[in-house]
Structure formats: C-alpha cells, structure tokens
Amino acid sequence: MSDDSGPIRFWLWPNVLSLDAPLVAVLWQILFARCFRVPVDALAVVLLLLTVWLIYAADRILDARKGECRSPRHEFYRRYWPELLPVWIGILGLTTWLAVEHLPAGLFLRGAALLGAVGMYFALVHSGILLRWPKEAAVGILFALGASLVAWGKVRTAADVATILLFSGLCWMNCIAIQRWEVEKLDWSPRIAAMVLACAAVTLLCTHRPILGGAELASAFAFLLLSHQRRRLSADALRVLADVALLSPLLFLPIAAGSR
C-alpha cells in the first residue's frame, strides 16, 4: 500500500499500526525507572503503551482526514479510520478506567497534567496555529516527559534534568529528520545535531547518570549512521530505522538491572 505500489511489507506494519512509538516509550520508561530507583509495575507499562498509541493513532487519523497521506501509515488511517475508530474509543475507555481506578494519586495527577498539555498541542496543531518546527519540538518534549513520568518524583540534580532534556532532543530528531531527509531539505545538519547530543550526553551524564547517558549516546550515534547512509535507504526504511535508533534501552536495561 506504499504509494499504491503493492502490499505493505511486513517490517513496516509496526510503523503503520502506530506500535513503534509505544514500544520506544515503554523501553525508556523502564530504563528511567530503573536508573532512578523507582518501581514500575505492569499497570504503568500498559497505561503508557495504550496512551501513546491513542495519541499517535488520533494524530494520524486527524492528519489523514485532512488529506495528509504522505506515507503508508497515513494512507492506512485514511482508508480504515471508520473501522479503527470504535477500537480507539474502546481502548480510550479501558485506559481511562485503569488510570482512574488503579493509578496512585500522585502519578495520576502528573499524568493528567501532561495529558492536558497534549490536548493543548492537539488543539494548536490541528487548528493550524502551531507551525512545523515548533510542532516537532513540542512532540519531542511531550514524548520525553511521558516516558520519564514515573521518575519525576526522583529528579533532584542538573544531571537528572539533563537526561530528560537530552532524550527530548533525540525524540525531536526522530520526528524531524525523516521529513528533512525525504525532501532533501537540509537547511540544518542532522549529523551536527546528533554530534551535539552525543557530546552533551558524554559531558553531562558520564559521571552522574552513565547508564541513561550511554543509552542516549548510542541513539545519537545511530542517528549519525542513518544520516550518513540516508541516500542508500528508501523512505520507508528510514522511517523504520529512525525508530530503531531509539531502541537503545534494549542494550542498557540489563546493565541497569544489575546496578540496582
């Protein structure tokens, strides 16, 4: 279904179904929780997974309804949004019930405040008020705040804040790099941005938050590699690999578990 040239390739389905962002969010949630010595249970993982999917699916349905079908995932939502809408509503109801009935009060209030910010983002973006660059920056900040939500109560030092800020920078790169690579509109250098993030991770976090800093450094280097190889890769492959670049917690979660 990519550009009407045939069926969707199997490795594109996580991206098409908006499953890639929830996976990235959950992996970073668990890494933040372990590094900040915060217990994270199955409920918190499931709620983040469902919430991120609801947000991304809603955003893509709204984009597709406005005629923005620049990728297989948008075309999928344009074609099937009537069938997906009841599923979306059902998952929204389940997520709301789980959060209201089972989340601790403090975590529930922090999550509600963040969802309020997400609602404001939706209102600005889909009314046309928020322009392209602020939109991508806002996504990076909101995503990083959501993934680190369980650790907010343990944020104490500048290094702690830096871990969240640097992760938001990686999320911003994930959002905007594909758009720039696809149209070859490189009025800024993704390589330079990735190098800046890598240097910041080493400088700010190597002493106080080495595991989170290492994961962020690994993702920054992955973006560097993608930037170097982008002309050899298809647009679909770049979309998928841009999310794979954020799966670095898979390498560092065993270390974080052993350091507790």
* pLDDT per residue as tens digits for the range 118-167: 999 888 887 767 666 677 888 999 999 999 999 999 998 888 998 999 99
Given this model, what pLDDT does residue 60 score? Answer: 87
The length of the chain is 260
- Joined together, the tokens standing for residue 97 give 């019930």
Task: Please write the tens of the pLDDT for every residue from 166-180.
Answer: 999 899 888 877 777
Given this model, what pLDDT does residue 1 score? Answer: 41
Give me the mean pLDDT over the 84-96 stretch. Answer: 95
Residue type, 138: A
Domains in the chain: how many in total? Answer: 1
In order of 29, 38, 46, 215, the CA distances from 26 in angstroms are 5, 14, 8, 14
Given this model, what pLDDT does residue 99 score? Answer: 95
Q: Cα torsion for 40, 144, 24, 149, to the nearest 10°?
A: 10
Task: Please write the tens of the pLDDT for every residue from 205-251.
Answer: 777 888 998 999 899 889 888 888 888 888 888 889 999 999 999 99
Q: Which of 100-114, 144-158, 186-200, 238-252 has the lowest mean pLDDT?
A: 186-200
Domain range for 243 is: 2-258
Return d(Cα 200, Cα 220) in angstroms, integer. 10
Mean pLDDT, rounded, of the chain: 85
pLDDT band of 2, cuts 50, 70, 90: very low
Please provide the distance, in angstroms rounded to a whole number, between the alpha carbons at the two ends of the chain.
Answer: 46
pLDDT band of 4, cuts 50, 70, 90: very low
